[in-house]
Amino acid sequence: MTTQTAVLGGGCFWCTEAVFQEIRGVTSAVPGYAAGKTAEPSYQQVSMGTTGHAEVVKVEFDPAVVSYKQLLQVFFATHDPTTRDRQGNDIGSQYRSIVLYASDEQKKVAEETMAELNKEYFGGKIVTEVQPLGDFYEAEEYHHDYFKKNPTAGYCQVIISPKVAKLRKQFAPLLAK
C-alpha cells in the first residue's frame, strides 16, 4: 500500500483528528502544528498565538481507497471555512482554516475543490489559506486520540460530537466499517 499525506487545519485539532479517524482509507491522523515560525513549538506557545502556527492534523491515507479530493470535501463540510482565525469559541490564528499541500497536484486539487464549493455552497466566502507544507511538529501525546479518550468531556460532547455526527450522516459511504 502506498500512502499519501494531507495536512489540514480546521480549528481545534481534536475535532479534525476525530473526523478523519472515521474515514475508510485513513491510516493515521496525527495532531500537530504547522505554518509557523518557531521551531519545535509547544501547545502553550501555539495557544498564545505568537508562533504563527495553526493547529493541524497530518492525515496519512491510501489514495486507492479515499481520494485527496474526498478528504477535502469532508474537511470543508466539518468546519467553517468562511471565518478567519476562528472556529466557534476558539479564536486566534492558531485556529485558522488552512490546507498545507505536499505537491503541485494537491495544490491544484485544493484550489479546484475550494472554487467548486465556493460556487455551490459558500457563496465565495471561503477564507481557507492554501500554502506549501513546511515543517510539521507533532503535538504532545495527551492531544492524540483526544475524542476517543475523552468522549464524555464537555468540549467533546458540545463541539466534537456534532461534527462527527454530521460526518456520519453526510459521508456515510466514506466511513470505516
DSSP summary character for residue 143? G
Q: Which of 6, 7, 8, 12 is catalytic?
A: 12
| Contact assessment for residue 164 and residue 147, using Cβ atoms and an 8 Å cutoff | yes
Instruction: Tell me the residue type at 54.
Output: A
All residues at 6 or more sequence positions from 65 whose CB lies less than 8 Å from its CB, including other chains:
24, 25
Task: Extract the C-alpha cell encoding 66.
Answer: 479515499
- 170: helix, strand or coil: helix
Q: Is 15 in the active site?
A: no
* Residues assigned a catalytic role: 12
